[in-house]
With several copies, the nearest count.
Chain A
C-alpha cells in the first residue's frame, strides 16, 4: 500500500487478500507477470484501476493492490468505458475470460474495440468456463466434451484475435501464461498503446481443461510450434530460427524456407494479413504470439473530451441562463 518514495516492486501490487485459484492454475503466472510489468513500468497503485467481469479470471482485481471493480458477467468493458470517460487520466485495465469476453460479453468487447476506448484488456483464454465448473466456451475446439456437451460441442470456435480485427481493433496481441518474459513484454506493449489494447493470453485451467495448449507450449515442442511476431522481422521459428512462415496466393499461411519467410508488419492499415494469421490452423502451423496489430487512432475518450472543451469555448452560459432559456415572461408581484 505504499504510495510514495522509493521505486515500487512487484510486491507493492499484491493486495492483502488470499489468492483463491486452484493450485496450479495458469492465472497465478499471469498475476505474477502483471505485477512484475506494473512495477517495471513504474506505475503507482492508486493510478491504476482494474475492472473485471465474472469468472475465475475475473477475481484478478482482488489480488492487485490497485483500485478494482469486480462487476457483472460480460459487462466489464461497459463499466470500464464509463470509468475512463469519467477520468481519462486513470490507467484502466480490464480482466476478462473467454466466456466473459466472448460469450455473454462479446458485444461490449467489439464495441470498445471499434470505439478505441483507452482500455487495456487482458483476456484469459482457457477455452473453458472455469468458475461454473467446466462447460465449453466460445473458444473451445469443436467436438469438446464437457458437462453441457456430453457428445461433444458442435460450435465453431471464435478466433478472439480474428474477431477483434474484424471489429477494427487498433492493438491486438497474444501471449501465453507460462511464457513469463514474453507476457511481461506484451503487458508493457499494451501499456504503451493509446486506445484499446487487447491481449489474448492462453491460460491453462488445470482442473477443467488441463493441457489445452500443451501441444505447442511444452518446453520440448515450443520452438517448433510457436512463432514470435517481431516488427519488421521475418517470421521465423524452430530451435535455431531455421524455419519460416509465409503466405500463399490465397493468403493461407504456410511453412517455408528461412529465406522465404514473410516480413511481419504490425502497422499495416489493412488488417488482412493479421487476419490471415489469426485464422491459421493451430494444429498444422506454428502458433503466432506477439503483436498482431498496432495502429494509431485517436482514443474515444479524448475525442469526446475534446468536444466538451470546444463546446465550452464556443459558448459560456451560467446555470441561470441555462434554466431561463430563450423565451420567458414575467409575472409581477
Chain B
C-alpha cells in the first residue's frame, strides 16, 4: 500500500475550520492547542475558540461533560474562529449530540465509534443510534474505532491498556494533521517535553500521532487532504500565537517595565480570569509580585496598598468579583491612586454560566459604585489586542492617577490568534514622577494637580518631607484635608468627572472599518470585534454602505465618535447583553442607536451580524424610498 502515499491529492483551500469535541477527560483542549501551535508556526492566520464544560470532570459520556476546541486557519486575514466547522471530530455520542448541528452541511464528520452502546447513547440522551438512524446523512461521515486503532498502534509498547487509551486523542490529531497537511514536528517536540520524566508515555504518544497520520494516508478514507498556504497579507514582523489572557499579562509586564515600576497583582481565583494570576506568577524573574488573597476585596485592597506604596497595583477578576470590589474601587477614585482592575467577563447574572462568555458587565463597570464615582474603561477586542489594551490601561492609570477598569471576556481570554510581537524599544515610555523629598519647611500637599491631566501628585511613603494623610472621606482640593464644605464637594465631584473626561485627549481616535462613510454603522466594543470586523469588511467589499467602529475606550469615548455617529444614517450596536453600550450612546448623544443583542453564552457568528447589517440597510433604503 505504500505507493498510495505518493498519490495523495492536495486540495488548495484558503481556510479550514475544524472542531474537536469529546469528554473533558479526552484531552480536547490539549489536542486543539497543539494543532494551533503547529498552524501558527506554519504561518497561517488563525483564531481559536475553546469551549469548556462547567464541571471539572462531569461523569464520562454525559452532555455536560463535553469539551470542545475550534480552530480556524487561513491564508487571508480572519477575525473569528469561524461559524460552522468544515470538519468535526467527535470522540463520543455526547460530543456528537452537542456539536453536530453546527457542522457545515456536507462537512466532514470524523466520529469515534468505540462507545456507541445503549448505555453510552443513554448518557448522551440519544433515543436511537445516530450512526444508524440516518440523521447524519447530510455529512461526509467517517466512522473510526479509535480505541482499537490506538491500541493496535501501541501493541508493541509496555503500557497498560488505560494508558494506551489515553493516547486516542493524539491518534486523532495524527489523522487531522495529515488531513490538513500539518507538520508533526512541533507536536512531537511538545510531547517529548511534556512527558520528559516518563519517556515511555512520550514515545507512545509520538507513536500514536504518527500512526494516526499514516492511517489517514493509507486508509483511503479521505478523498483528499487540504492545504492552506501561509498567510501573506500579514505585515512583516515576528509572530507568535497568543491567547487573550496571555497577551493581557504581557501587556501589563511591558507597561510596568516601560514605567520603571514593579507590578503587584492582588487576585483571587475565578473563572475565566484565573489564568492571569497563574501567568503573572511565572514572571517573578521580572520582579512581578503576585498575591493570592483571601477574597476579591483583599485582592484589590492589596493592589491599592501597593499603589499607595508607589508601585503599580493591579487586580484581576470576573463579574461577581468585580461586584465585590466596587466599594474599594470607590476608595481608589477618592484617593486618586493609579490602579488597573481587570474584569474578564463571563455569563451572568450571579454565578450564571462561569465557563461561557458574555459582555454584560459594562454598566457595572461604569456605575457599580456608590456616589458619583467615574472610572475610565478600556476594553480588549481580540486575543492579541489584549496586549495593547493592558498597556493602555497602565499608561492612563499612571498618567491620570486613576483606577482604570479593563474589560475582557471569556471568549477573548481563552481564544488565540497570531500576534505580531512588538520590540520593547518600539513601545512608548511611560513617564512616572514621584514627589521629591522635601526639607520639611512646607507642608506637603497631596492634592496638588497637573494642570493638563488634573492628576494629583504621587508621594511614595518613605520619602522625607512628604508625609501626608489620604482616605475615602471627601477632601479639600490641594491640601487633601478632610472637608465637608459644600462648594468644595461640588468642585471635587466635578473635577473627578473632568479628569476622566480629559483622558479623551490621550487616546486614539475611533477608526471606521469597511465603508469609510457608511450609511449603516456597527458600533461595538470588546470581544465581538472579530465578528463585527469580519462582517463589516465582507459587506463593504460586497459593495454595501456598511462600516464598523470597534471601541478600545468606552469611557471616555474617543473625541471623534460623535461625528462618526452623526454622519451615519443608522447605528447598530451588536452586544452580548441586552443593550448596554447602546444605552450609553443613546443617552450621551441622543442618537437612535439600535441594540442588536444575543445573550446565549456564545459569541456572535459573523453570519448573524451580516444579516443584521443587511436588514438595517434594507430598512433604511425602504425608509428612504417611502420618504
Q: Which residues of A contact B (CB under 8 A)?
A: 1-4, 15-23, 44-47, 49, 51, 54, 56, 61-62, 65-75, 77-87, 89-90, 103-104, 106-108, 111, 129-133, 135-136, 138, 147-151, 207, 304-305, 307-308, 310-312, 314-320, 322-325, 327-333
A320: chain B residues at CB < 8 Å are 423-424
Q: A70-B472, A81-B305, A331-B234 are in contact. Are A324 and B313 (CB under 8 A)?
A: no
B60: chain A residues at CB < 8 Å are 23
Q: A80-B305, A86-B310, A132-B269 are in contact. Are A333 and B58 (CB under 8 A)?
A: no
Decide: B305 and A65 in contact? CB cutoff 8 A: no
A78: chain B residues at CB < 8 Å are 266, 293, 297-302, 305
A21: chain B residues at CB < 8 Å are 55-57
Decide: B41 and A327 in contact? CB cutoff 8 A: yes
Decide: A322 and B468 in contact? CB cutoff 8 A: no
Interface stretch of the complex, out of B167-175, B200-208, B271-279: B271-279
Decide: A23 and B278 in contact? CB cutoff 8 A: no
Decide: B465 and A331 in contact? CB cutoff 8 A: no
Decide: B306 and A85 in contact? CB cutoff 8 A: yes
How far apart are the CA atoms of A258 and B521 in the complex, in Å? 85
Name the distance in Å between B250's Cβ and chain A's nearest Cβ: 6
How far apart are the CA atoms of A90 and B482 in the complex, in Å? 25
Decide: A89 and B277 in contact? CB cutoff 8 A: no
Interface stretch of the complex, out of B153-161, B235-243, B522-530, B593-601: B235-243
What 9 A-B pairs have minimum CB-CB distances, sorted nearest first? A82-B305, A78-B301, A70-B471, A86-B309, A82-B302, A311-B284, A333-B236, A68-B469, A79-B305
How far apart are the CA atoms of A136 and B466 in the complex, in Å? 39
8 Å CB contact of A149 from B65, B292, B308, B320: B292
Interface size on B, residues (CB 8 A): 103
B304: chain A residues at CB < 8 Å are 71, 79, 82
B298: chain A residues at CB < 8 Å are 75, 77-78, 81, 107-108, 111
Decide: B440 and A1 in contact? CB cutoff 8 A: yes
Q: A85-B306, A131-B56, A135-B274 are in contact. Are A106 and B294 (CB under 8 A)?
A: yes
How far apart are the CA atoms of A16 and B303 in the complex, in Å? 29
**16 A-B interface contacts by CB (under 8 A):** A20-B58, A44-B464, A67-B467, A69-B305, A83-B306, A86-B309, A87-B460, A87-B462, A89-B462, A132-B270, A133-B56, A308-B284, A323-B422, A327-B37, A328-B238, A331-B237
8 Å CB contact of A73 from B320, B461, B470: B320
Name the distance in Å between B57's Cβ and chain A's nearest Cβ: 4
8 Å CB contact of B239 from A16, A74, A304, A331: A331
Name the distance in Å between B29's Cβ and chain A's nearest Cβ: 12
Q: Which residue of A lies closest to B271 (CB)?
A: A132
Name the distance in Å between B419's Cβ and chain A's nearest Cβ: 9
B162 within 8 A of A: no
Decide: A107 and B473 in contact? CB cutoff 8 A: no
8 Å CB contact of A22 from B56, B234, B292, B310: B56
Decide: A136 and B464 in contact? CB cutoff 8 A: no
A46: chain B residues at CB < 8 Å are 461-467
B350: chain A residues at CB < 8 Å are 72
Decide: A83 and B278 in contact? CB cutoff 8 A: no
Decide: B305 and A85 in contact? CB cutoff 8 A: yes
8 Å CB contact of B294 from A15, A69, A107, A147: A107
Other CB < 8 Å A-B pairs besides A17-B481, A78-B266, 13 of them?
Answer: A20-B57, A21-B57, A23-B57, A46-B462, A73-B320, A81-B291, A81-B301, A81-B305, A107-B294, A108-B301, A322-B283, A325-B242, A328-B240
How far apart are the CA atoms of A71 and B240 in the complex, in Å? 42
8 Å CB contact of B287 from A19, A67, A90, A312: A312
8 Å CB contact of B309 from A45, A72, A75, A83: A83
Name the distance in Å between B608's Cβ and chain A's nearest Cβ: 31
8 Å CB contact of A324 from B41, B294, B421: B421
A54: chain B residues at CB < 8 Å are 351, 472
Decide: A18 and B308 in contact? CB cutoff 8 A: no
Q: Which residues of B contact A (CB under 8 A)?
A: 37, 40-43, 55-60, 62, 64-65, 186, 231, 234-242, 250, 253-254, 257, 262, 264, 266-271, 274, 277-278, 281-287, 289-311, 313, 320, 327-328, 331, 335, 350-351, 420-424, 438-440, 443, 460-473, 481-482
Decide: B282 and A83 in contact? CB cutoff 8 A: no
Name the distance in Å between A237's Cβ and chain B's nearest Cβ: 34
8 Å CB contact of B302 from A18, A45, A81, A147: A81
Name the distance in Å between B269's Cβ and chain A's nearest Cβ: 4
Decide: B240 and A324 in contact? CB cutoff 8 A: yes
Decide: B294 and A82 in contact? CB cutoff 8 A: no
B262: chain A residues at CB < 8 Å are 86
8 Å CB contact of B306 from A45, A56, A86, A314: A86
Decide: A129 and B237 in contact? CB cutoff 8 A: no
Decide: A66 and B424 in contact? CB cutoff 8 A: no
How far apart are the CA atoms of A329 and B164 in the complex, in Å? 34
Best-surrounded residue of A83, A90, A131, A330 (most CB of chain B within 10 A) = A83
Best-surrounded residue of A16, A87, A320, A332 (most CB of chain B within 10 A) = A87
Q: A46-B462, A79-B302, A319-B254 are in contact. Are A107 and B285 (CB under 8 A)?
A: no
Decide: B302 and A329 in contact? CB cutoff 8 A: no
Q: Which residue of B lies closest to A138 (CB)?
A: B294
Q: Which residue of B lies closest to A83 (CB)?
A: B305
Name the distance in Å between A285's Cβ and chain B's nearest Cβ: 28
A72: chain B residues at CB < 8 Å are 301, 320, 327-328, 331, 350-351, 472
How far apart are the CA atoms of A288 and B466 in the complex, in Å? 40
Q: Which residue of B lies closest to A63 (CB)?
A: B469
A22: chain B residues at CB < 8 Å are 56-57
A44: chain B residues at CB < 8 Å are 464
Q: A19-B59, A69-B308, A90-B309 are in contact. Are A329 and B239 (CB under 8 A)?
A: yes
Q: Which residue of B lies closest to A155 (CB)?
A: B292
Name the distance in Å between B329's Cβ and chain A's nearest Cβ: 11
A322: chain B residues at CB < 8 Å are 250, 253, 283, 286
Best-surrounded residue of A46, A77, A106 (most CB of chain B within 10 A) = A46
Decide: B57 and A148 in contact? CB cutoff 8 A: no
Decide: B470 and A69 in contact? CB cutoff 8 A: yes
How far apart are the CA atoms of A131 and B420 in the complex, in Å? 35
Q: A20-B55, A86-B264, A148-B277 are in contact. Are A325 and B240 (CB under 8 A)?
A: yes
Decide: A207 and B57 in contact? CB cutoff 8 A: yes
8 Å CB contact of B301 from A65, A75, A327: A75
How far apart are the CA atoms of A131 and B269 in the complex, in Å? 10
B482: chain A residues at CB < 8 Å are 17, 62
Q: Which residue of B lies closest to A332 (CB)?
A: B236
How far apart are the CA atoms of A324 and B395 in the complex, in Å? 22
B278: chain A residues at CB < 8 Å are 147-148
B466: chain A residues at CB < 8 Å are 46
Name the distance in Å between B136's Cβ and chain A's nearest Cβ: 26
Decide: B462 and A47 in contact? CB cutoff 8 A: yes
B299: chain A residues at CB < 8 Å are 78
Decide: A1 and B43 in contact? CB cutoff 8 A: no
Decide: B297 and A103 in contact? CB cutoff 8 A: no
Decide: A327 and B468 in contact? CB cutoff 8 A: no
Name the distance in Å between A179's Cβ and chain B's nearest Cβ: 24
Q: A23-B57, A56-B56, A131-B56 are in contact. Are A327 and B308 (CB under 8 A)?
A: no
Name the distance in Å between A261's Cβ and chain B's nearest Cβ: 38
8 Å CB contact of A85 from B234, B282, B302: B302
